[in-house]
Structure 1
Amino acid sequence: MKTEIELKELVVGLSGLMSVSGRETFEQKKLLSLVGGFFDEQYADDVGNQVFVRYSGRAGAPKILIDTHFDEVGMYVAEIKEGGFLSFVNIGGLDTRILGAAEVIIYGDRQIYGVIASTPPHLQKPKDAEKPGEIYEFLIDTGYTKEELESFVRVGTPVGFLPKYTDLVGGSIAGKSFDDKACAACAVYAIAGVPKDELCGDVYLLLSAFEETRRVGGAAAGTYRVEPDYAMVVDVCHARVPDTSRGETTAFGGGPAITHSPATDRRLTKMTAELAGEKGIKYQFTVSSPGTGTNSPAVGLARAGVPVVDVGLPMKNMHTYNEIICIEDCIETSKLISAFVSSGRIAGEFRHEKI
């Protein structure tokens, strides 16, 4: 089993994989090469969920689920047009205001580069300049002819933003698909770093499918199969920037955000916060009503119910090709996950006797 890993390298490595909703296993071989060696077992299901397991070796050990969805927002090709242009539909929530001139990769029989066409201000009609375009109005310029494209691109071919990452001053990093693969990296880093004899249960890392397109998503099926005793869902949350509501955002660089919500377990939430305090882990609280906007409700309602705590990684520019996260927040999030799967107090409180 691998034992050494760099968190930032893992964040970029996982986020750079193409996993537009419905295509979560597209680069499964690369995923396995990055993280498979840190786990005892791995499997994928028919939904597209990918599960990685570390066993504690303890008889009757509880099952601890860590969920981080693996799908990303993106596009599918809708039509191949004359002049080497592609029309597309959005997969997940995309803000059309940021699409013009975006760089993309078309994942056909061979991968090619493209740029979403942008109308210069000089050519825009006044009424068009005042409103964002509709998704069906956008085209991807590839430089190929229609006939050339038809030989390796088809309707339904996935399209993702160009995986390009930039370090910013102050320990931040910008790039595509940190939602939610940065959290997946935090979880891998955390689980891999805990010695086997310190694990307080068998740990199941669920890289769940199509969270971006369906609120129930693949997490419901994945959780049902694992049948965990308790769970933590880790997803990104909105970081505070000027002119945003304080009540709906979290402090960038303030550590992971533990969520108060009707969809989460109050005892597990309280004990997770107490654990962070005991371990000196930086954290903050956020509140979400009525749900969480994450997989927590789906996980919590699987089978007869699963106690779940929801943890958020602060992010700026969500659902763009330049999402921004703070590496220090990633480190603190990893520390919290490590403490969570090593907590004898939590395991003792939430372990269920198997019938």
Structure 2
Amino acid sequence: MTAAQFLETISELPGISGHEGPVAARIREAWAPLVDEIRTDPLGNVIALKAGEGPKPRPRVMIATHMDEIGFMVLSIEQGGFLRVAPVGGIDVRNVLAHRVRVLGRRELVGYLGMLPPHLTTDEEMTRPVPMKDLFVDVGLPEERVRALVEPGDLVVREQRAVQLLGGRMAGKAFDNRASCAAAYHALQELARRRHQVDVVVVATVQEEVGLRGAVTSAFGVAPDVGIAVDVGFARQPGVEKDRSAEPGGGPAIALGPNIHPQVYRFLVEQAQREDVPYQVEPVPGRTGTDAWALQVARSGVATGLLSVPLRYMHSTVETVDVKDIEATGRLLAAALAAMEPEWVRGLSR
């Protein structure tokens, strides 16, 4: 299975923060043949170990890529059977109206995020987004039937099939951050053809969208010597400043800033140049808002790096990536892991 095929499969599965089970199961199934050990921890993180060569104890390098997605939770069932919902994660109210959704109740229901017709909307209302408190889901059933199938606390996931675009690009939901889960899958495939001296621990983390929680707990448990988070970053599009974005098809963006260990940054750049992997530099003067933020301060501190796959239209159902960037990210990860010498890794914590 290619990275693009893997992304298509996992992007369409439900996996709202705190309820990542279906996508976690698929990731575990795909990663298992490529690693030596794989397990799921109490929080739901999928933790895969690919042992290195050489004498023990070997240094550990953790690759963190989160698998959760944003979505909604049912707050109440209103008169007429409409579902009042609240966001789980960073929902953008500007782009959710009229979206098709799946309500994961006692039985799965198809519904839509309803809206007032423009004919009944005031001029003032037409100039601003619908307030989150006014969002509702319509599943088309009578109220008594809805109450028999749905209850407060049930999840509502956005429904969107992945689409292959021209030029090797793809669009769909939850590419933030399952595009990076696909990059990690590609890295494991590449690493199967290489020798490496460090123990590699690849983690599909949970609950990143609601506070980096899976990265916090898994980094504490893994206790890595080096951590590399893989996420998505802003790709160039109209309205996005050039110095805050990366070019689609230009390879992963390698972050540099206070969240990043300078030697890890330089090492990733050197490996990209040595392996002829296209890359871009992403200056981040503050917090990155990714799993790298949690990795860096785990236990007594971890030398941390961050790779970002350029992505357009973040937190929408038409998130768009270039498959070449996913593959380049995987190649760079595999090359870096194969090139890491145990003494160099250990020296980062001295």
Please classify the TM superposition score into its range, dividing by the shorter chain length.
Answer: over 0.9
Match of 1:126 in 2: 123
Asked if residue 246 in structure 1 is aligned to residue 242 in structure 2, the reply is: yes
Partner Cα separation in structure 2 for residue 319 and residue 259 of structure 1: 21
Asked if residue 350 in structure 1 is aligned to residue 350 in structure 2, the reply is: no
Asked if residue 37 in structure 1 is aligned to residue 33 in structure 2, the reply is: yes
Residues 56 and 197, structure 1, Cα contact 8 Å, conserved in 2: no
1:77-226 matched pairs, under 5 angstroms? 77-195=74-192, 198-214=195-211, 216-226=212-222
In the alignment, structure 1 segments of 5+ residues that lack a partner are: none
Partner Cα separation in structure 1 for residue 92 and residue 315 of structure 2: 8
Residues 166 and 175, structure 1, Cα contact 8 Å, conserved in 2: yes
In the alignment, structure 2 segments of 5+ residues that lack a partner are: none
Match of 1:327 in 2: 323
Residues 255 and 281, structure 2, Cα contact 8 Å, conserved in 1: yes
Cα shift at 1:353: 11
- What is the letter of the counterpart of residue 139 of structure 1? F
Residues 303 and 348, structure 2, Cα contact 8 Å, conserved in 1: no
- What is the letter of the counterpart of residue 82 of structure 1? Q
- Higher mean C-alpha displacement, 312-321 vs 52-61: 52-61
Cα shift at 1:257: 0.1
Partner Cα separation in structure 2 for residue 224 and residue 352 of structure 1: 20
Residues 105 and 162, structure 1, Cα contact 8 Å, conserved in 2: yes
Residues 83 and 143, structure 1, Cα contact 8 Å, conserved in 2: no
Partner Cα separation in structure 2 for residue 177 and residue 197 of structure 1: 30
Cα shift at 1:151: 2.4
- What is the letter of the counterpart of residue 16 of structure 1? E
Q: What value does the CA root-mean-square deviation take over the aligned residues?
A: 1.8
Residues 251 and 309, structure 2, Cα contact 8 Å, conserved in 1: yes
- What is the letter of the counterpart of residue 344 of structure 2? E
Q: Report SS of the residue matched to 1:212.
A: helix
> 1:121 and 1:29, CA in 2 relative to 1: closer, same or farther beyond 3 A?
same
Cα shift at 1:196: 6.9
Asked if residue 293 in structure 1 is aligned to residue 300 in structure 2, the reply is: no
Residues 261 and 289, structure 1, Cα contact 8 Å, conserved in 2: yes
Match of 2:268 in 1: 272
- Higher mean C-alpha displacement, 23-32 vs 251-260: 23-32
Residues 187 and 334, structure 2, Cα contact 8 Å, conserved in 1: yes
Q: Report SS of the residue matched to 2:49.
A: strand
Partner Cα separation in structure 2 for residue 327 and residue 257 of structure 1: 14
Residues paired across the two proteins, number: 348
Provide the TM-score with structure 2 as the length reference: 0.94
Partner Cα separation in structure 2 for residue 24 and residue 52 of structure 1: 17
Partner Cα separation in structure 1 for residue 41 and residue 319 of structure 2: 29
Cα shift at 1:84: 3.0
